[in-house]
Structure 1
Amino acid sequence: MSLDGKVAIVTGSGRGLGLAYAQELARLGASVVINDVDATIADEAVASIRAAGGTAISVVAPVGPTETARELVKAAVDTFGRLDILVTNAGVLRDTVLWKMSDDDFDTVIGVHLRGTFTCVREAATHMRETGTAGRIICIGSPTGQRGNFGQTNYAAAKAGIVGMVRTWALELKKAAITVNAVVPVAATAMTATVPYFAAAVEADNAGEPMPSFFRHDLGFGTSADVAGMVAYLASDAAADVSGQVIGVGGDRLQIWSHPEAVVSEYHEGGWSYEALGADFAEIIAGNRQSIGEKFPPLPEDLQRPAPTA
């Protein structure tokens, strides 16, 4: 299970989930390329890995442009001599409802999440194929991309698109023995810290205390470290036969997300005309209507917190 001798790039790894992924890969022996847009944050991330006995360098650049993808791969190869692992974690948020979302709100999120994943994976996969490296590519998804979420048109589109690309790349890169998987984390982040529902869990995490079992077990909601183990496992030789999968991790829970499948197939001779649909569709949809968005159970009374005041 060691990653000794492996080299990894983790985008958006200056802090939060990305840093946890990078630190876990380094703990297991991989040399890591840290990436962030803030040089100070990137330097601190590198220092944390070196202080723990690991090896890391940083590339300060925004993810999205092809030039950044090339710089990341070049840094890994020039410094450490190879590239075995890519984790595409970089992301930004521009949350607002559809009728208030600007072109820039949409383009910024798509550019970093979706285009950034594409450019980095293209560059890394090209290098791995040319060098005959049986690489590991782990792309970070989200429950929002699986189920949708109010106010996140751009983010939902990007994360759903990432899963579509992962499934395609798993097919295209199979012959080269390069695995491609998506991890869907459910963990305390800067975003969840602002949601009152998760307040008790975030309070515990910030205090260095275990999260209540309701969050860890019932919701599958945990810390960055809870997700990092899965990322590292998928980066290892133990996962050589795992590709094209979407795996959710949070708290004490692990989930395998299914590929979209038809839940019912109905046939009408001659096709489904307006009149035929008028006669039959209401009954068909009534028993097969699919849910949208995340559904959370009521918080236990002892975990409820007052809503923040303006």
Structure 2
Amino acid sequence: MSLEGKVAIVTGSGRGLGLAYAQELARQGASVVVNDVDAATAADAVASIESAGGKAVAVVAPVGSTETAQQLVKTAVDTYGRLDVLVTNAGVLRDRTLWKMSDDDFDTVINVHLRGTFTCVREAATYMRENEIAGRIICIGSPAGQRGNFGQTNYTAAKAGIVAMVRTWSMELKKAGITANAVIPVAATAMTATIPYFAAAVAADEAGEAMPPFFRHDLGFGTSDDVAGLIAYLASDDASGITGQSIGVGGDRLQVWSYPEPVLTAYHDGGWSYDALTDEFTGLVSDALQASGETFPPLPDELQPKA
């Protein structure tokens, strides 16, 4: 097994994508620290790993605070003797349009996703550096953070921020041999289950059936298990040369997301005054303006949601 002897923490791993990540890491030989806010859910996750022959222990605590980050790393080291891999998956949703989003809606999502990623990575990276462990930091992003999404000011800000932090950490941790990457999953989750467009795919997944090829191939939309393989690969020694990347995976599709780059560069002698912009801006940039959000192709007739 490729991760034999490795120790991993997966935040938010009581169910869904996080559980799939924890189970796959254990399947590949890693000992896993499972994390959830619900004790029964965390215990069930540990039991599922142990029943399959793996090793796991639970930390029941909300991600966000430095104290939780310290508890997670301490549990890994005290229980298994070291820490090699951190997967920051924990998250919550508080979807509202801008004018309806409260301070608490915003702060709660930012605290768990963005601050929780920061505190956990800071604690794990500090341990890895001090103990000369060439560890793996794997942070979970989202297509919403890459493109934007209606009603998710808080979530998109957090997920975009996570990708930006990963780029910075890849530079700061390179000398220590620690990699930092972001994974952009596209899978059936509690969030996508509420979107009519994905109804046929989610229904197939819940029934234990294969998703229609349109979803798996054309949209790159699949199951939690379809994402877990990439998590385990990035945690392995084989991925030692991969860092600072945002890698999307879902269904049958794998993608490497580009860093933001200028799509148009123009110069004006003396600088871009208001008058110069008034005269030239529209003509210059009309073909270079970028779209927000994702646009999906029409569903085939046989996959249209039933009324």
Give the TM-score normalised by the residue count of structure 1: 0.98
AA at the equivalent of 2:183: V
Aligned length, in residue pairs: 307
Query: Equivalences for 1:102-117 in 2 at 5 Å?
Result: 102-117=102-117
Shift of 1:284: 1.4
Identity of aligned residues (%): 76
Q: C-alpha separation between the residues in 1 aligned to 2:87 and 2:22? A: 9
Match of 1:192 in 2: 192
Q: For structure 1, which runs of at least 5 residues remain unmatched after alignment?
A: none
Q: C-alpha separation between the residues in 2 aligned to 1:283 and 1:186? A: 37
Q: How large is the Cα RMSD of the aligned pairs?
A: 0.6
Match of 1:101 in 2: 101
Q: C-alpha separation between the residues in 2 aligned to 1:152 and 1:283? A: 32
Match of 1:213 in 2: 213
Q: C-alpha separation between the residues in 1 aligned to 2:282 and 2:81? A: 61
Q: C-alpha separation between the residues in 2 aligned to 1:96 and 1:300? A: 30
User: Is 1:89 matched with 2:84?
Assistant: no
Q: C-alpha separation between the residues in 2 aligned to 1:306 and 1:191? A: 20
Query: Equivalences for 1:63-212 in 2 at 5 Å?
Result: 63-212=63-212
SS at match of 2:64: coil
Match of 1:264 in 2: 264
AA at the equivalent of 1:156: T
SS at match of 2:266: coil
Match of 2:42 in 1: 42
Give the TM-score normalised by the residue count of structure 2: 0.99
Match of 1:30 in 2: 30
1:224-269 Cα distance to aligned partner (Å, 9 max, x none): 0000000000000000000000000000000000000001100001
Shift of 1:219: 0.3
AA at the equivalent of 1:66: T
User: Is 1:238 matched with 2:234?
Assistant: no
Match of 1:275 in 2: 275
SS at match of 1:193: helix
Q: C-alpha separation between the residues in 1 aligned to 2:100 and 2:220? A: 32
AA at the equivalent of 2:238: A
Q: C-alpha separation between the residues in 1 aligned to 2:34 and 2:70? A: 14
1:49-104 Cα distance to aligned partner (Å, 9 max, x none): 00000000000000000000000000000000000000000000000100000000
Q: C-alpha separation between the residues in 1 aligned to 2:34 and 2:6? A: 15
Q: For structure 2, which runs of at least 5 residues remain unmatched after alignment?
A: none
Q: C-alpha separation between the residues in 1 aligned to 2:18 and 2:129? A: 25
Shift of 1:306: 2.9
Shift of 1:285: 1.7
Q: Is the 8 A contact 2:217 2:251 kept in 1?
A: yes
Q: Is the 8 A contact 2:264 2:285 kept in 1?
A: no
1:93-139 Cα distance to aligned partner (Å, 9 max, x none): 00010000000000000000000000000000000000000000000
Match of 2:247 in 1: 247
Q: Which runs of 4+ in 1 moved over 6 A?
A: none
